[in-house]
Amino acid sequence: MKRILSYNVNGIRSALSKGLLDFLSEVNPDIVCFQETKAQPGQMQESDFEALGYYCHTFSAQKPGYSGVAIFSKLKPDLVVRGMGNEKYDAEGRVIRADFGDVSVICAYFPSGTTGGVRQDYKMDFLSDFQSYLKELRKSRKKLIVSGDYNICRLWIDIHNPEKQQNTSGFLPEEREWFANFVSDGYVDSFREINQEPHQYSWWSYRAGARPNNKGWRIDYHMVTTELRDKICNAGILSYAVHSDHCPVLVDMDF
């Protein structure tokens, strides 16, 4: 069994200063997918992660202190691919893939769209282009685990006060429609395979009281292709971890 953790750290250097390494030692994931590292290679205390047994593979945005993804794994990947072959998104360091045998783990940081206008358009373009990228990849790699910050609440139970959020980026009808289409394309929401309860969130606004009162959103996922559905052993949201405005989400896979 392999434990995979996905975590939008909202700045890996900030998260490290809040005890991220101790947390990883306790939870002991085999593979960690980080989003929003906001750092360049060599700025992430890689040697400290290596001391814990991790191989470190990073893909940073061209703009310093912005976006960025990484896959740190205790298993040595057979292949690591940075980007999805589209400069429009690759310049922002949004996708990295690592192959382990016949399974590919993809760490993705979807655009947020919260500023509206141009960035919401960019987000919708990304959704379409990312799905096309995965479709092409699946011709040769059937078993995908697509982990990361999707910046979309998939279901009504995945957001606090859904009635009032329908005009908010992250819960727009067209975003949820994309997600429904994505699932029907052959993907399984690993967490919802295990847990059907409401009020299970992975991100909270920094506004006063949002996190203590659990007024959150579930926007971090491990989506797996249907070929891996029966390999999901466990999934969870580790809301006690407070290195970021997100918390880590995990999935235990039998591969």
Residue 8 is predicted with a pLDDT of 98
Interior/surface letters 229-254, b for 16+ CB within 10 angstroms, e for the rest: eebbeebebebebebbbbbbbbbbbe
Say how many Å lie between the first and final Cα of the chain, rounded.
6
Contact 39, 63 (CB under 8 A): no
Q: Which of 41, 46, 45, 79 is nearest to 58 (CA)?
A: 41
- Of residues 30, 149, 158, 252, which has the active-site annotation? 149
pLDDT at 220 over 90: yes
131, HSE (Cβ side, Cα atoms, 13 Å): 17
With beta carbons less than 8 A apart as the criterion, state whether 192 and 220 touch. Answer: no
How does pLDDT run across 68-90, given as a tens digit for each residue?
999 999 999 999 999 999 999 99
Query: Residue 159 gets which letter from DSSP?
Result: B
167-194 pLDDT per residue, tens: 999 999 999 999 999 999 999 999 999 9
Q: What is the pLDDT of residues 136-157, one digit of tens each?
A: 999 999 999 999 999 999 999 9
Amino acid, res. 94:
R
Q: How much is the mean pLDDT over the chain? A: 97
What strands, in cross-sheet order, belong to the sheet with 143-149? 79-82, 95-100, 103-109, 143-149, 220-225, 187-189
Q: Average the pLDDT over 115-125 and give the result.
A: 93
Dihedral sign for Cα atoms in the order 107, 4, 225, 246? negative
Helix, strand or coil for residue 139?
coil
pLDDT for position 255: 87
Range of the domain at 164: 2-253
User: How do residues 127-141 score in pLDDT, each as one tens digit?
Assistant: 999 999 999 999 999
CATH assignment at residue 180: 3.60.10.10
Helix, strand, coil share of the chain (percent; to 5): 30, 30, 45
Q: How far is CA 35 from CA 93, 207, 233, in A?
A: 9, 22, 24
**Average pLDDT for 121-127:** 98
- Half-sphere CA count of 35, side-chain side, radius 13 A: 27
Band (54; pLDDT cuts 50, 70, 90) = very high
Rounded CA-CA distance 222/73 in Å is: 16
What pLDDT does 114 receive? 82
pLDDT tens for each residue of 94-116 = 999 999 999 999 999 999 998 77
pLDDT of 207 higher than 90: no
149 catalytic? Reply is yes
* pLDDT attached to residue 9: 98
Domain count, the chain: 1
